[in-house]
Structure 1
Amino acid sequence: MADSILDEAYERVSQTGPERNGWLSNHAPMAAEALDRAGRSAEVHPWLDSYADLMTERPRGIARIAPDEWRDPLGDPVRTGDWLSFFDREMVEEPWRAVLVRWWPRLLPGIAAGATHGVIRVGHAVRALLDAETPARVGELGQGLAYWAARWQPLAPAGAGPYRASDPRAALDAVPRVPDQRYGIRARLAQLADLPGWADAAGAVPGSGSPTDRLGDVVEAAVLRYGTHGHGNEVMMVHAATAPNAVLRCLPALPESLWPASLDAGWAASAAVTAAYAPAEGRPAPAAPAGVDPEEVVERAMATGDPHAIKFADTAVDAYRHGAGVPALAAAARCSAALATE
């Protein structure tokens, strides 16, 4: 029953565009999958009802993108409709895993796409597909890949390493901040190329062990750091955790040869959001509400109605299970409290 509800949700939003107002992401498919995963499938359609006015029609295309002519329209949001049609064809002509493996190394360098929502949407779709392969989920993966391709945006180059066996939380603390934080994410990310220390911070991936362990540690650190630094921007700082977690969710569907580059990109995305939005000073870590558990954290996020609160709670539960424990749930509770007042 839960599977059919998620598929119905994907079908319901399949003719909507990936953005509204020119650049704000359509969070409907991501939040729907997060609610379904949390065992709250009965809440999926009511939440979509509340979000319906924020969805727009799927954009029309301009010209067909040929399989061997993908480079020129990459990162052109005017071609969003063409990219949606392109990946509709791709997902019909080949198994979804083959499409993902071919396009992952093409899209990964542009991980900043849509304020990292491109990779985040793909991560939710892949997690759903790893649970059950259905036409609706295959179609949703295609739409996520199309959005990523249309908004493809590389970060400023990172250094070449070497990898350092340092604590990911300390590494996030060491990320330099962009000097001008008055404008949106594109203006902030544009400053990274000239930011002293950015290349070294972005290239020195913290932690040790396998790429999956290291990405899990980065996600955990970003969740915990939200508890102390999320006030810099309660919405945007969410992505310091959800972007690398999206990469982590895709690894089981990818060959291990792609894991090292995925780790690099996931860390760079987290570092970039940190550089762009983290405040200069942190606040004391939040105390966990009495009796808090994963179910309670999801309930608090749902009560806000905010998709970022829902997705952050989803990632915080992953961090809790990875080893962060109750402090990760406390960070999610702080996020929901902040976004409830937005």
Structure 2
Amino acid sequence: MEMCMETVSDTCRALLERSKRFGPLYGDRLANHLPMTLIALDRLGAPVDSMQRAFDANARQLQARDAGISPVVDAAIWLGKGSNAGGLELYFQACVARDGPGAVLRDWVPRLLPGVAASAFHCPIRLAYAVDAGDHDEVCAALAYWVMEYVTLDLPPDTVDDTPAAIAARLAVAVAGHAPWDGIIIDRMRQVARHPGLAGTAIQPSVLDLRQVAQFALGAYHAREDFTLLHTVTACHAFRLLLPYAGEPGRALRYLWEAVVVATLTVEPEDAAVPAAAAQIDWHACMAQAARASDAHVVKLCWSAYCEHLAYGDARYLAIAARKLARQ
């Protein structure tokens, strides 16, 4: 399955080109959402003025790319180093020029999927959007970002004959009474993964498919409006887009489940009250409203929810999109 080009509008492509002056992170290791937002808006059918407004709103907080570039002979040496995005981009651009984007993705996505949680799932999400857009330069930028932010959770691969929901409930009991999680999302996820209550515990269902993981993430976020849980829904969408390049899909899926269930364990139940239901709208109205939004998480959640609804037909995807729009 090879990537195709020219699958986004000229406006989107021009704004993506302008976005290259920004680095993949800003502030305290926060993700640059601008390229993902632009692609999602384009998919939602956003008019030119909305695209430009979203560019301006998101670019305002970003930081310029680091001018320092170290030559890269082997990107694997830079895994998890948190630096040299520019050098890594040049490396992947050379690989794509030599081998083509499909070959590079088939080589690197399986290597990177053990770190699917990297940067709170934003690394695979950015890559998935780049693949969907058919933008080779953005693919290289996303691969560079994933390499530099790569981190694994390293929980046991043992399986148990139980449902994802039952496993999650058991793990929640195992970490109950924990010391406060702190830091950004990925920091808290790593703290959960290192909790003694999870040591030697089987977290993998003996039978698992992507629908199960997506439904678990959807159920958790539908039940409680929480910023971390939002990312598990968009991560499942991204994983589905990257699956053609995943190598061994069953093995890759285990990494996604590990990251999703760990993310849910970082959410404190008492901090997750169920919000009032949003006004009922249909998908046409939902997408039209999202196409006028500039908040990155609103735009991305609505686009992912629509795509996942098409894949699974679950009405709760419209409910979470409508709720997010009502709260912006």
TM-score when normalising by structure 1: 0.82
| 1:212-266 deviations in Å (ceiling 9; x for gaps) | xx32342233123212122xxx3222111111221111113x26x4211221122
Q: In structure 1, which of residues 267, 273, 284 is the aligned counterpart of residue 257 of structure 2? A: 267
What secondary structure does 1:54 align onto?
Answer: coil
For 2:278 and 2:206, locate their aligned partners in 1 and report how far apart those are by CA, in whole Å. Answer: 30
Following TM superposition, by how much is the alpha carbon of 1:300 offset from its aligned partner in structure 2, in angstroms?
4.5
For 1:200 and 1:287, locate their aligned partners in 2 and report how far apart those are by CA, in whole Å. Answer: 37
Q: Which amino acid aligns with 2:126?
A: R
The change in CA–CA distance for 1:154 and 1:2 in structure 2 (over 3 A counts) is: closer
For 1:245 and 1:193, locate their aligned partners in 2 and report how far apart those are by CA, in whole Å. Answer: 27
2:110 maps to 1:105: yes
The change in CA–CA distance for 1:305 and 1:173 in structure 2 (over 3 A counts) is: farther
For 1:127 and 1:198, locate their aligned partners in 2 and report how far apart those are by CA, in whole Å. Answer: 38
**What is the 5 A alignment of 1:1-342?**
3-42=9-48, 43-67=50-74, 70-129=75-134, 137-162=135-160, 164=161, 166=163, 168=164, 171-176=167-172, 179=178, 180-191=180-191, 192-197=193-198, 200=201, 202-204=203-205, 207=208, 214-230=209-225, 234-252=226-244, 254=245, 257-280=247-270, 283-284=273-274, 287=277, 289-290=279-280, 292-301=281-290, 305-338=294-327, 340=328
Q: How many residues align?
A: 316
Q: Kindly indicate whether the alpha-carbon contact (under 8 Å) linking 1:2 and 1:41 is maintained by their aligned counterparts in 2.
A: no
For 1:147 and 1:121, locate their aligned partners in 2 and report how far apart those are by CA, in whole Å. Answer: 9
The change in CA–CA distance for 1:289 and 1:201 in structure 2 (over 3 A counts) is: farther
Following TM superposition, by how much is the alpha carbon of 1:201 offset from its aligned partner in structure 2, in angstroms?
5.9
The change in CA–CA distance for 1:17 and 1:182 in structure 2 (over 3 A counts) is: closer
Q: Which amino acid aligns with 2:51?
A: V
Q: Kindly indicate whether the alpha-carbon contact (under 8 Å) linking 2:22 and 2:64 is maintained by their aligned counterparts in 1.
A: yes
The change in CA–CA distance for 1:269 and 1:298 in structure 2 (over 3 A counts) is: farther
Moved more, 145-154 or 47-56: 47-56
Please, what is the CA RMSD of the aligned residues?
2.7
| 1:191-229 deviations in Å (ceiling 9; x for gaps) | 21224247646422764xxxxxx3234223312321212
Moved more, 104-113 or 272-281: 272-281
The change in CA–CA distance for 1:251 and 1:229 in structure 2 (over 3 A counts) is: same
Percent identity of paired positions between Structure 1 and Structure 2:
26
Q: Which amino acid aligns with 1:138?
A: H
| Unmatched 5+ stretches in structure 2 | 1-6
For 2:167 and 2:296, locate their aligned partners in 1 and report how far apart those are by CA, in whole Å. Answer: 28
| 1:136-177 deviations in Å (ceiling 9; x for gaps) | x00001100000001111113233225x573x5555555425
| 1:19-59 deviations in Å (ceiling 9; x for gaps) | 11241111011111111112225332331122221222222
